[in-house]
A = this chain, B = another copy of it.
Amino acid sequence: MTSRIKISSFFDGGNITVIDAAEPDNIRVSIPKDTESDFFQWFYFRLQGGMGEECIIHFENAKDAAYSEGWEGYQAVASYDREHWFRVPTQYEDGILTVAHQPEQDSVYYAYFAPYSYERHLDMLSWASSHEDCVTHHLGETAEGRDITLLEVTKTQGLAKNIWITARQHPGETMAEWFVEGLLERLFDESHPVARAMLKQCRFYIVPNMNPDGGVHGNLRVNSKGVNLNREWKRSSQENSPEVLAVQKKMAEVGVDMFLDIHGDETLPVNFVDGCIGVPNFDARMEAMETLFSQTLLAVSPDFQTDIGYEQDYFGEANLSVASKWVGNTYRCLSLTLEMPFKDNENLPDEEVGWSPERSKILGADVLYPIYQVINSKHMS
């Protein structure tokens, strides 16, 4: 007799391997590796046939994931309608991650974080470019042939500060593209004073998805060539990292006055930024802008903090193959990696949804406040 449980993942971003689904209360799965890579951590699948039963799902290879400490205190997300994602009871023990959930519907999705599909990405580009202040640019294509698209947003034809924002170099960090969606909604709000003021002063260059191939494949870290784009900025190539090469080329063409690279962090349960302290060209002006940025964001968002973050690099030791370090060093501008949690912001936790698309969008909108302060500070004159 066969199980009624059906697990499927053959859709955009889907990622799981079923070992055994004969018994709902002992479903055994493993997370497939990223394309041409040993990294893995992203999972996303649909479970049918479990309505009303306690479904217990064991991720048997969890301990070998890219960030096994990411499973500590982590709760998986689930959705019936593919719009609202909520947390479900999850624990990590003896190297196995276990989700226990009794679905209320016959069809339910589970994921590492709320997905952001390539179709939604294309919808966002179309929606954005339909606004009068926005045009799209084709920067190039991925190894598999997907478009790398840049959004340019401004109200001015003249001289302006160039604010660059990139997201999803690591394709499984979908919160980064939700963040961009929120930032764009704010920029397009014709009544918002900060958006109105900034679009007269600035030209935003936004790449909402640096790694569409990896996103479609359900990868955590790499593109379809198995390459981690955020280690390619010193050695980008058409062969391995056309996504980075295309962006660097456009940066060289128009210039960079500020750069934010948006990420998700598997381990730390907070939002934070990482600056350029260890890059060769780091100076007092860059440091002052980093401080002003952080202090302003702190003042407007209890979802941001500065106590916890990455260890700071010593002078000259920063890894210039990382996007924010390379850009900061090259353009001597404010250049930050902004990290959001896969887990929750432990300073303002939300038991139902944890860190979420909605909260990512608000942070994306709120990041305009520190950008605005820095742009109008003495450091930019």
Contact = CB atoms under 8 A, between A and B. Distances in A.
Contact of A49 (B80, B119, B138): B138
A119 B119 CA distance: 7
Interface string A174-194: 000000000000000111111
A34 B137 CA distance: 31
Contacts of A302: 193-194, 196-197, 372
Interface residues of A, number: 63
Contacts of A350: 191, 196
Interface string A344-381: 01001010000010110110000001001100000000
Given A80-B130, A136-B106, A197-B348, A145 B8 contact: yes
A87 interface: no
A136 B48 contact: yes
A61 interface: no
A38 interface: no
A193 B303 contact: yes
A107 B301 CA distance: 34
Contacts of A81: 126-127, 130
A222 to B, nearest CB: 18
A34 to B, nearest CB: 20
A117 interface: yes
Contacts of A197: 302, 348
A141 interface: yes
Identify which of A80, A107, A141, A149 gathers the most chain B CB atoms within 10 Å of its CB.
Answer: A107
Interface in A2-35: 6, 8, 10-12
A128 to B, nearest CB: 10
Contacts of A80: 126, 129-130
A327 B72 CA distance: 51
A247 to B, nearest CB: 16
A36 interface: no
A48 B105 contact: no
Contacts of A193: 301-303, 345, 348, 359, 362
Interface string A54-90: 0000000000000000000000000111100000000
Interface in A141-195: 141, 144-147, 149, 189-194
A369 B106 contact: no
Contact of A107 (B117, B125, B141, B144): B125
Given A80-B126, A81-B130, A107-B125, A11 B118 contact: yes
A6 B129 contact: no
Given A8-B146, A193-B348, 14 more contacts: A10-B145, A10-B146, A11-B118, A11-B146, A12-B12, A80-B126, A80-B130, A81-B126, A106-B136, A109-B126, A192-B362, A193-B303, A299-B299, A302-B372
